[in-house]
Amino acid sequence: MSYRVFLLRKALELGMERFNAYNTKENGMQVLIAFLEGNKDQTAAFQEFANENKPEDAEVSDRVFRDYEGYVIGIADYMHLIQVEQLSNGIPAILSIDRKQDRMLEKQDRSIELLDSFIKKSRFQNSTVY
């Protein structure tokens, strides 16, 4: 599970109505920036969760929490954004698999033709003429 989806799930569990997260690079390191809007109990619970948990394969060196006064998109809109992003990531992979499958089928067809040719030659060579 991606880190953004991991945090989104917790934000949903806490009933937050606004959430946004994205990856960026700072000083050559990958950084996840998340924005959320909720009451003090929700944000405190989210911060506690983020400090104590991470997705299984995530490498985390630090967590920083700051107040933010700007606009945060609605959590439902963010979920749609994630879905579109996942589809955008998946479509090139599917197209790549399709191209590879086409190449494999072409090779298989050539192999069958060669095998058929070999069998015909083998039958001709092994036949006895009277």
Q: Tens digit of pLDDT for each residue in 44-80?
A: 999 999 989 888 888 877 788 888 889 999 999 999 9
29 assigned to some structural domain: yes
Query: Considering the chain, what percentage of its residues have pLDDT values greater than 70?
Result: 94
Q: What is the pLDDT of the chain when averaged over all its residues?
A: 87
The token duo for 90 is: 């998946």
Global pTM value: 0.65
46 assigned to some structural domain: yes
52 assigned to some structural domain: yes
Domain extent at residue 58? 3-95
Q: Please give the average per-residue pLDDT across 110-120, as a whole number.
A: 87
Instruction: Confirm if 82 and 4 have CB atoms less than 8 A apart.
Output: yes
For the chain, how many structural domains are there in total?
Answer: 1
| pLDDT score at 77 | 94
Q: Please give the average per-residue pLDDT across 81-104, as a whole number.
A: 86
| pLDDT score at 128 | 59
39 assigned to some structural domain: yes
| Three-class SS of the chain | CCHHHHHHHHHHHCCCCEEEEEEEEECCEEEEEEEEECCHHHHHHHHHHHHHCCCCCCCCCCCCCCCCCCCCCEHHHHHHHHHHHHHHHHHHHHHHHHHHHHHHHHHHHHHHHHHHHHHHHHHHHHCCCC
119 assigned to some structural domain: no
115 assigned to some structural domain: no
111 assigned to some structural domain: no
Locate tokens 């953004």: which residue? 4
110 assigned to some structural domain: no
